[in-house]
């Protein structure tokens, strides 16, 4: 099995190293990852200047681009044969609810799907990674059998990626794996006004309090209760319920 690994925290990130350890037992690993952190770059593609891959070992490349650039470059140019799966992560921080819309980790998996390769995004729902890096390493034991299971499904669903979140627990404290839906995240005071060194007004986006809401079967509830959450995400964002209901809206047009 040929596995393409990437992330949005950069090629030096601990999470990528942990994913590599988990993946190496399953197949031949190729890493193509950004040369620096690209968190929250979503599905952006570098169109206005070239990207340069630099070889960092056998089947290991760093790219001065986004996670999406990395997946596209890997599949279209760097790998002699197409991968069987794209694994993206392990992201430093959760990707639950609306996070998936900003996440470079999830977008890289989405890019894999767009190019016809089944993909899995993996995130570690620990807060401060400096405190939790041992827990992140612990999660290799949980992740490896899960990846093995997902990659050997007789019918990996079409145009679908699995968005996995790992709880910040020791491996033997994890209660199990739950299939989940996306929860809802509520940010408050996420734009912080402040002054630059010259006294001019600036804003720092991304701080503030995060709270979550969602059904008992949502991703954040699973994490909160000590489970691994696995949420299937579809490439087609069409909302079919509305499409059916809205048919009557056009009657008089």
Long-range contacts of 54-59 (CB under 8 A, 24+ apart): 56/11, 56/31, 59/28, 59/29, 59/30, 59/31
What is the distance between the terminal CA atoms of the chain, rounded to a whole angstrom? Answer: 53
Q: How far is the CB of 10 from Mn ion (least distance, A)?
A: 9
Q: Which is nearer to Mn ion, 66 or 91 (CB)?
A: 91
Which of 236, 184, 228, 235 lies closest to 90, judged by CA?
Answer: 228
Window contacting Mn ion (CB under 5 A); options: 9-17, 70-78, 139-147, 225-233: 9-17
CA–CA separation, 188 and 190 (whole Å): 5
Q: How far is the CB of 87 from Mn ion (least distance, A)?
A: 14
Window contacting Mn ion (CB under 5 A); options: 53-61, 65-73, 90-98, 165-173: 90-98
- Examine residue 99 and tell whether it contacts Mn ion (CB under 5 A): no
Strand, coil or helix: what is 128? coil
Q: How far is the CB of 182 from Mn ion (least distance, A)?
A: 18
Cα 129 versus chain centre, distance? 16
Please select the residue that binds Mn ion; options are 3, 4, 5, 8, rule is CB under 5 A: 8
CA–CA separation, 109 and 8 (whole Å): 11
Q: How far is the CB of 199 from Mn ion (least distance, A)?
A: 33
Q: How far is the CB of 91 from Mn ion (least distance, A)?
A: 4
Q: Is 195 exposed, middle or buried (0-12, 13-18, 19+ CB in 10 A)?
A: exposed
- Examine residue 219 and tell whether it contacts Mn ion (CB under 5 A): no
Residues 39-68, interacting with Mn ion (CB under 5 A): 39
- Examine residue 9 and tell whether it contacts Mn ion (CB under 5 A): yes
Please select the residue that binds Mn ion; options are 6, 30, 66, 91, rule is CB under 5 A: 91
Q: Which is nearer to Mn ion, 89 or 167 (CB)?
A: 89
Cβ–Cβ < 8 Å for 226, 173: yes
Residues 150-179, interacting with Mn ion (CB under 5 A): none
Cα dist. 70→21, 74, 113 in Å? 20, 6, 14
Chain residues binding Mn ion by CB under 5 A are 8-9, 39, 91
């Amino acid at each position: 099995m040929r596995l393409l690994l990437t992330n949005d925290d950069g090629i030096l990130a601990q999470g990528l190293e942990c994913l590599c350890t988990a993946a190496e037992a399953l197949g031949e690993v190729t890493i193509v990852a950004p040369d620096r952190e690209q968190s929250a770059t979503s599905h952006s593609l570098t169109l206005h200047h070239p990207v340069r891959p630099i070889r960092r070992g056998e089947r290991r490349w760093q790219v001065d681009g986004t996670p999406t650039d990395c997946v596209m470059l890997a599949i279209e140019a760097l790998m002699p044969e197409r991968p069987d799966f794209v694994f993206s992560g392990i992201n430093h921080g959760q990707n639950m609810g609306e996070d998936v819309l900003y996440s470079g980790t999830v977008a890289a998996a989405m890019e894999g799907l767009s190019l016809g390769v089944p993909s899995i995004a993996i995130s570690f729902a620990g807060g401060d990674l400096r405190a939790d890096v041992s827990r992140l390493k612990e999660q290799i034991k949980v992740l490896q059998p899960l990846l093995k299971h997902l990659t050997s499904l007789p019918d990996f669903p079409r145009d679908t990626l699995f968005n996995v979140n790992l709880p910040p627990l020791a491996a033997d404290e994890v209660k199990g794996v739950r299939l989940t839906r996306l929860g809802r995240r509520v940010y408050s005071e996420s734009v912080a006004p402040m002054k630059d060194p010259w006294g001019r007004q600036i804003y720092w986006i991304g701080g503030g309090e995060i709270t979550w809401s969602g059904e008992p079967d949502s991703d954040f509830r699973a994490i909160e209760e000590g489970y691994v959450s696995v949420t299937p995400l579809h490439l087609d964002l069409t909302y079919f319920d509305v499409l059916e209901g809205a048919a009557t809206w056009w009657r008089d047009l």
